[in-house]
Amino acid sequence: MGTCHCSRCRKVGASTIVFVKKEDLKWVEGKEHVKMFQPEEPYKYERSFCTICGTSLGEILSDMDSFPIAANTLDSGLEIKNSFHEFVDEKPDWYEICDDAKQSKGHPDT
């Protein structure tokens, strides 16, 4: 789990993300209602969203082996804690980071 402070993630309400292994994701229903937004350069990461309720889903339609989804979309609690903050230079002044998680100016190295 990590928090991205870039303006794109903040604007779609998907700043805190959880990485999921593709093999662990099981669709129960509704995949047909998920669409992909392709950003313009210089951004490269596609964003998925529900066409019914508009919820931002991160990269849930990704073909990668592991991908981020928005933590706020999960109904159950998580037994993990935030492990990183990325794009901290884009963090708004009103937001204060209040944990000891690793911070980076861009994507973390690990």
Q: How far apart are CA 110 and CA 101, in angstroms?
A: 13
Reported pTM:
0.77
pLDDT, residue 21, reads: 93
Cα first-last separation, the chain: 12
pLDDT, residue 32, reads: 97
pLDDT, residue 51, reads: 95
pLDDT, residue 100, reads: 95
pLDDT, residue 110, reads: 47
67 φ, ψ to 5°?
-155, 160
Residues of the chain with pLDDT under 70: 42-44, 110
Residue range 76-89, pLDDT digits in tens: 878 889 999 999 99
| Chain position carrying tokens 């992909």 | 36
